[in-house]
Structure 1
Amino acid sequence: MIASIRRTMRKLKRSTSGNATMLVALGMPALIGSSGLAVDFAQWYMWKREIQFAVDQAALAGAWARSSTTSSSTYVSRARQEFTANLAATRGVTSTPTVTLGNYNGGTNNAVQVTATASKSLPFTTFITGGDTVVAASATATFSQSQTFRTCILSVNPTENRSAIFGNAITGGSNCGVGALSTGTQAIVETGDSEVQLGDIVSAGGIEDTFSNNGTIHEFVTGLSNPYAGLDAPSSAGQPSRTYSCPTFSTGTTSWTAPVTVRTVITYEYRRGANSNGTNITVTSGQAGYMAPSDSTTGPSTTTYYTAPTPGTTTVGPTNGTWENVSGSGQNRIWRRPVTTTTTTIGTVTGPVTTGASDGIARPLPGVYTGINITCDTQFQPGIYWISGSIDFGNNRAVSGSNVMFVMTGSSNDIRINSTSIVTLSGISEATLTGTYGVSASDAAKMKNMLFFDKNNTSDFDINGNATLDLNGILYMPSREVKINGNMSSGSRCIMLVSDTFWITGSANLTNFCAPDSDGGMQIGERPASVRLVA
């Protein structure tokens, strides 16, 4: 049998007719197999492409959901919804996608990962493997949430390096944020390694790496701006011109007043003799030397006293007058003297009232001033003070004012807070701006709590060590360099600072850099939410 097969094969080998048919017959299994595999591969590729696109879109949708605090919790359902919406040929053969949070580039839970499979029996693959074909796909999208940048200290210089400088001995801390609009590569720097908390540290340029101990660094942020740019101070047109002065201390005059009634009764005594030591006699009407008695009442009339009177009735008398010869001669002379009794009644006392007194405290009124130099305790009355010159807060003088704003109208004048200045001030209210000065509601909303509106002055503003300050409001000085030196003492309220550049050094306390209205500080920009596919 075997020999017969061998002979047949040798004959076929020697034969030259029908070779093509033989080759086709021998290659047919490979041809059929490769054709089937090609069909299945095309199916695999289509599945892979479709579910890969679906998981990509699902990951992006989940990441967008996570990027917003309002939709963050819905990221799984949102991803699955988007996955299903992008299925066509594989609809019904895919698994429910697995949606999880992952970590990307050092972050925590800042990426959405989606995985899914498509599974179905294919003719050729099933013949070979005996099971369904499974195609898997996965995608990862990272996200960052939108963020509004708010600060309580802002440098608005657009280009300068070191536009915001912090010393290494500063104390306290403020989580209200620090900002710089400078695009310089070292816009915010520190001269040491202070670890006081600053909150968000935001810059259009670079930030020194050591600030990682002080808060969250956001550098090279685009779209930052001065929140008060384009805002103009209220007009001084029609406002009264005034001069600052200190009154002289005086105790004044103290007085009391009361209604007073006076009754006066006068009777007469008579004597006969060569002198007033004669014999007592009675003289009646019609006789020589007679004087009728009198009884008169005056008042009540208002009387002023300079010592406190006692209400009630007092009687003085009877009081004898002087003897007078009124008739006769020799031993028959008639002598007469008056006897007076006075009754005084003091009614309800009013007082004390002090006039002409001064406590020596200056109480300036709002208006237009050429300059203010504090030389006595001073209480600024509510309103706006336009100052074309300088203002000096003096030494060891208590200066206070509530609901006030100082508008510096010059370009090279000073604001002096000295080492022994004692200043308690709070910024102007929105209601005063609109009601008293006619500021529009939109501008008043921005300008509320403004304490200093100093748009054009370029000289340095220094707050020296040991000054006692209790400020509540906004110091808007976009053209000045501000230097806060030494152990400045501050109160319990909040200030915000906008300056061209600033330098906070010494042992200055940052605790009071906070928002006067507790609204989170000045909004200087925002970073929109971002999502990108990374795998």
Structure 2
Amino acid sequence: MKGSPDRVGFLRRLAECRSGNAIVLGAMAAPVLVSAAGFAIDTSQWFLWKREMQYAADQAAISAAWSLAKGISKTAYTTHAQQEFTSNLAITADFATTPTVDLVNYNNGTSNAVRVTASATRKLPFYGFVSGQSATVSVSAQASFAKGATYTSCIIATNATADGAITIGGSAVLKSGCGLAALSNSTNSIRVSGNPTIDVNYLMSAGGIDDWFNTNTDDVVKEYMTTLSDPFASLTPPTNPTKGTTYSCVKSGNTTVATLNPGTYSTITTSCNTVLNPGIYVIDGGGVTIRAQDAVTANGVMFVLKNGAYFKLNGGSSINLSAMTQSQLLAAGLTSAQATSLEGMLIFEDRNSTGNVSTLNGNSDSIINGTVYFPKSTLSFGGTARVTSRCLQITANMISIQGNVNMTSFCPTGMQTSTQVGTDAPSVILVS
């Protein structure tokens, strides 16, 4: 056992030596410390990749959702998502996969959300060195979208600032069921006076609406909308250079009848029962006046009002007015595009006209079928008139409905009565 005491003594002295203990402990702890440092670096690197890719996926989902909310095609929204994802990558740009973009259902909806998924695989500095394996980061983002609701109306006032752009008063009965819309930003753009009966389902305005509706009806009220517009603002009225025929009442059996052909007139004032043949009637500077005792038939016509011309249909008149069809407009010499856009236009006031006051009063036998458009004039309904129609669309600078007017039939069930006047802004929400 030679040398044993020395070895035992060495170990005893080593155990008692503080420096020796530190060396041993340091040597034993070195692998743990190196591993901890390596994993810390790897964890930081992994979270950096994860954070960058998650942000890129979020932005891609939002971009694609906005594309769909605005009605862009599937190919376009997928491309937008991929472009947005790539543009937000830096550290992972070289090894991230191309994102997968899918339409999914959200919150009981159908294909109303976009989901973007992607991954990136690469060796981390320490883990990759020790194991020889790569680490994968996977991300997913989902954004829901809603297209802006479309709003339609069959009664529209286009004045941008007027108080009482639509005024309803007296004992008027208005049960159109197809909405009222005022483009005025006035705090009282749709106003009520007297004791009318109103049921229009919904009201829209660029300004405020009389509180009367909240108190007296269950109609939906939408105020201070920023997306309302004149649906006919882009249209141009046609012309008709043909000189109008002379108005003449001719005896026919027990009645007298006047017959007119399309053309340009300064004034048309009925003095007997009157028939207007199909076509375009331009009224330049004067007006159309239909007397209470006269019956007027005008099927397939359009009245174009210029230079302050007006249209007055007096109470008691028995009339049947209907707008031109597309084929009739083509036959009158309009282009296909014009015929398509002007089909159904019954009265069209030229936007360059000085404006006037026009009245549409009738009785239970009156039929008005088409769009009446007075962008510069006030359109008034008054007296004891009953205005019925097959399909009536009313748009004017200002609209006044007073007296004992009864407006309850705007279109037969199942037929179009309203024109788009605005939309809500689309919305997008990042949901996961």
Q: Does 1:447 align with 2:345?
A: no
For the pair 1:170 / 2:67, whether they are aligned, the reply is no
Which residue type is aligned with residue 239 of structure 2?
P
Q: Supply the RMSD in Å over aligned alpha carbons.
A: 5.4
Pairing partner for 2:314 from 418, 434, 452? 418
Partner residue of 1:512 out of 410, 413, 416: 410
Which residues of 2 match residues 284-295 of structure 1 at below 5 A?
A: none
Q: Which amino acid aligns with 1:156?
A: T
Q: How many residues align?
A: 408
Displacement of 1:216 in angstroms is 8.6
Letter in 2 for 1:196: V
* Partner in structure 1 of residue 141 of structure 2: 139
Identify unmatched segments of 5+ residues in structure 2. 1-9, 129-133
Structure-2 residue corresponding to 1:160: 162
**Counterpart-to-counterpart distance in 1, 2:323 and 2:410:** 15
1:185 and 1:7, CA in 2 relative to 1: closer, same or farther beyond 3 A? farther
Is 1:41 aligned with 2:56? no
Q: Choose which of 221, 230, 239 in structure 1 pairs with 2:226.
A: 221
* One-letter amino acid matched to 2:396: S
- Given the alignment of the two structures, is residue 376 of structure 1 paired with residue 272 of structure 2, yes or no? yes
With normalisation by structure 1, the TM-score equals: 0.57
Deviation track 1:151-184 (CA, whole Å, cap 9, x = no partner) reads 433322123344234568522422xx54443344
Partner of 2:131: none
**Partner residue, 2:324:** 428
Larger % of helix: which? 2
The 3 A distance-change label for structure 1 pair 464 and 366 is: closer
- Tell me by how many angstroms 1:90 deviates: 5.9
The percentage of counterpart residues that share the same residue type is 25
Which runs of no fewer than 5 residues in structure 1 stay unpaired?
127-131, 250-356
Q: Secondary structure of 1:40's match?
A: helix
* 1:173/1:511 contact within 8 Å kept: no
Give the secondary structure class of the aligned counterpart of 2:257: coil
Would you say the 8 A contact 2:389–2:411 is kept in 1? no
Indicate the SS of the match to 1:102.
coil
Letter in 1 for 2:378: E
Q: Equivalent residue of 1:38, what SS?
A: helix
Q: Distance in 1 between matches of 2:168 and 2:120?
A: 59
Secondary structure of the residue aligned to 1:360 is: strand
Q: Whose radius of gyration is greater, 1 or 2? A: 1
Q: Which amino acid aligns with 1:152?
A: C
Structure 1 residues 144 and 463, CA, compared in 2 at 3 Å: closer, same or farther? same
Residue deviations 1:497-530 (CA, integer Å, cap 9, x gap): 22101134566325316999x6775455677866
- Quote how far apart the aligned CAs of 1:239 are: 0.9
The answer as to whether partners of 1:171 and 1:510 remain within 8 angstroms in 2 is: yes
The answer to whether residue 208 in structure 2 is matched with residue 197 in structure 1 is no
Q: How does 1:116-515 map to 2 (within 5 A)?
A: 137-145=139-147, 151-165=153-167, 169-174=173-178, 178-184=180-186, 187-188=189-190, 194-197=198-201, 203-205=205-207, 213-214=218-219, 217=222, 220-222=225-227, 224-229=229-234, 231-236=236-241, 238-240=242-244, 242=246, 244-247=247-250, 359-383=255-279, 384=281, 386=283, 388-411=285-308, 414-436=310-332, 438-455=333-350, 456=353, 458-464=355-361, 466=363, 468-485=365-382, 488-504=385-401, 508-512=406-410
Kept in 2: contact 1:64–1:531 (CA 8 A)? no
SS at match of 1:35: helix
User: Shift of the alpha carbon at 1:234?
Assistant: 0.7
Kept in 2: contact 1:99–1:115 (CA 8 A): no
Kept in 2, the 8 Å contact 1:234–1:439? The answer is no
Equivalent residues of 2:301, 2:323 under 8 A apart: yes
1:69-118 per-residue CA deviation (whole Å, 9 max, x = no partner) reads 9759xx99x989999999964659x9x999753359xx998554667888
Residues 414-462 of structure 1, C-alpha deviations (whole Å, 9 max, x = no match): 53323322111112344444434x4444334333333223332533333
In 2, distance between residues paired with 1:370 and 1:101? 61
User: Tell me, what secondary structure is at the counterpart of 1:361?
Assistant: strand
Indicate whether 1:12 and 2:18 are aligned.
yes
Following the alignment from structure 2 to structure 1, what is the Cα–Cα distance between the partners of residues 13 and 405? 111
Alignment of 1:97-112 (within 5 A): 100-103=104-107, 111-112=113-114
SS across alignment from 1:389: strand
Distance in 2, matches of 1:98 and 1:443, equals 41
Pair 70,195 (structure 1): closer, same or farther in 2 beyond 3 Å = farther
TM superposition score normalised by structure 2: 0.68
CA–CA separation in structure 2 for the residues paired with 1:454 and 1:515: 29
Q: SS in structure 1 opposite 2:366?
A: strand
